């Protein structure tokens, strides 16, 4: 696997705690941009080229995760969820607590089924009834290693499935961050292009809001992940996106509560893909939004496109995507930007 992609997937950064990812983004973007800085909010902004038109590319750095809420007198950690996490995926997960004193390993535990009543076993255990075991014998010992407010990520290192599919913890949206770097590397242009690695997307598209206000772009493009429908249990009517089917061009998010891509932008994306023979799929989403939802209604309205990489098991501890779709996303982004610049 590409070393940079692997590093991005394995780095920890829940919403509001993106520092480690931001360091990598700054370092990599500096190699291919003229100016890189972090704004007040924590977004990393890289600028390349000088031209009248301003183009903004956005990919969020944050991942879903947990946060320590309470340490019990027995030394177990209780937590809140940060971002959209299904309680059913939590039990038994290995986690890493990002403590000021270093990384601490833990396991999410619950009362075992042998000791539960039959009716309780039919329901998923609520996250409030789960706890993290760090092996501490009591609260004092636990507090020497972790603190209330520490971020928690899943301990799921990335790996390759069958040579072509990549599995990892924070695929949503480090794959977008990776694409952002590759686009900036390859782009040579006569406009001012801003690549923004945004913060706090998973909890309300916040970094996209502040950064797009600052930049006030003429055109924006958000890079993110979307749910593939090519696994058992998903009807074609729910999602027809397939891994390896190409980059997903979004038409509408969250049944209109998210971005509604304008006809001009939609046509631009589709025509560009056709012209350059880049494999694509059309994405109409009933649920889920991206940074684009915030950018496109900033200021007086900003023409905004969304390109996504189809993913299996989005927001689970391990998601899966196809490298071919990542390549299509990078290629199409570059061609779209070149066309917008004219
Ligand atoms: Zn995302």
Structural domain for 191, as ranges: 3-63+169-341
Q: Does 163 fall in a domain?
A: no
Q: Does 317 fall in a domain?
A: yes
Give the span between the Cα atoms of 216 and 335, in whole angstroms.
Answer: 22
* CATH for 216: 3.40.630.10
Neighbours of 338 (CB within 10 A): 16
Q: Does 122 fall in a domain?
A: yes
Where would I find the beta strands (DSSP E) of 178-302?
192-198, 219-227, 247-252, 280-284
pLDDT per residue, tens digit, the chain (342 aa), is 999 999 999 999 999 999 999 999 999 999 999 999 999 999 999 999 988 899 999 999 999 999 999 999 999 999 999 999 999 999 999 999 999 999 999 999 997 767 777 777 778 889 999 999 999 999 999 999 999 999 999 999 999 999 999 999 999 999 999 999 999 999 987 789 999 999 999 999 999 999 999 999 999 999 999 999 999 998 888 888 999 999 999 999 999 999 999 999 999 999 999 999 999 999 998 888 999 999 999 999 999 999 999 999 998 999 999 999 999 999 999 999 999 998
Q: Does 162 fall in a domain?
A: no
Q: Which of 127, 154, 181 is the last residue of a domain?
A: 154
Distance 247 CA to ligand 1 centre (A): 15
List phi, psi (to 5°) of 21: -70, -40
- Bridge-based pairing of strands 247-252 and 77-82 is unpaired
Residues 337 and 219 in one domain: yes
Residues 33 and 77 in one domain: no
Q: What would the two tokens of residue 333 be?
A: 């982004």
Residues 47 and 150 in one domain: no
Residues 270 and 177 in one domain: yes
Q: Does 269 fall in a domain?
A: yes
Residues 198 and 335 in one domain: yes
For the question of whether the overall pTM of this predicted structure is more than 0.85, the answer is: yes
SS3 55: strand
Neighbours of 24 (CB within 10 A): 20
Q: Which of 154, 178, 213 is the last residue of a domain?
A: 154
Residues 6+ positions from 215 with CB-CB distance below 8 Å: 45, 54, 56, 194, 196
Q: Does 36 fall in a domain?
A: yes
What is the domain count for the chain? Answer: 2
Residues 284 and 212 in one domain: yes
Residues 85 and 44 in one domain: no
- Bridge-based pairing of strands 280-284 and 44-48 is unpaired
Q: What angle, 0 to 180 degrees and rounded to 10, lies between the N-to-C axes of helices 19-30 and 3-10?
A: 160
Distance of CA 118 to the CA centre of its chain: 38
DSSP 110: -
* CATH for 105: 2.40.30.40
Distance 174 CA to ligand 1 centre (A): 9
Distance 171 CA to ligand 1 centre (A): 8
Check if 253 is active-site. no
**Of 18, 28, 63, 201, catalytic:** 201
């Amino acid at each position: 696997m590409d070393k940079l992609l692997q590093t991005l997937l394995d780095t920890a950064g829940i919403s509001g705690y993106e520092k480690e990812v931001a360091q990598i983004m700054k370092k990599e973007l500096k190699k291919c941009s003229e100016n890189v800085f972090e704004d007040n909010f924590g977004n990393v902004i890289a600028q390349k080229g000088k031209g009248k038109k301003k183009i903004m590319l956005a990919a969020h750095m944050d991942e879903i995760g947990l946060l320590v809420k309470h340490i019990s007198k027995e030394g177990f950690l209780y937590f809140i969820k940060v971002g959209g996490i299904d309680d059913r995926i939590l039990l038994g997960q290995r986690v890493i607590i990002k403590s000021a004193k270093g990384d601490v390993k833990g396991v999410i535990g619950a009362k075992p089924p042998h000791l539960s009543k039959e009716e309780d076993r039919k329901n998923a255990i609520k996250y409030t009834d789960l706890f993290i075991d760090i092996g501490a014998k009591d609260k004092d010992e636990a507090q020497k290693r972790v603190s209330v407010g520490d971020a928690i990520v899943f301990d799921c290192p990335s790996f390759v499935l069958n040579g072509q599919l990549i599995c990892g913890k924070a695929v949503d949206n480090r794959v977008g961050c990776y694409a952002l770097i590759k686009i900036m590397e390859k782009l040579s242009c006569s406009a001012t292009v801003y690549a923004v690695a945004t913060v706090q997307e998973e909890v309300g598209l916040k970094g996209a809001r502040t950064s797009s206000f600052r930049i006030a772009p003429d055109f924006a493009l958000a890079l993110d992940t979307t749910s593939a429908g090519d696994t058992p249990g998903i009807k074609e009517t729910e999602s027809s996106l397939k891994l390896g089917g190409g980059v997903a061009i979004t038409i509408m998010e969250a049944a209109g509560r998210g971005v509604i891509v304008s006809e001009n932008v939609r046509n631009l994306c589709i025509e560009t893909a056709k012209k350059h023979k880049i494999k694509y799929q059309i994405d109409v989403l009933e649920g889920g939004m991206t940074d684009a939802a915030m950018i496109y209604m900033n200021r007086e309205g900003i023409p905004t496109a969304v390109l996504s990489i189809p993913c299996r098991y989005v927001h689970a501890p391990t998601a899966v995507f196809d490298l071919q779709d990542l390549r299509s996303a990078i290629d199409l982004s570059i061609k779209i930007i070149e066309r917008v610049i004219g």
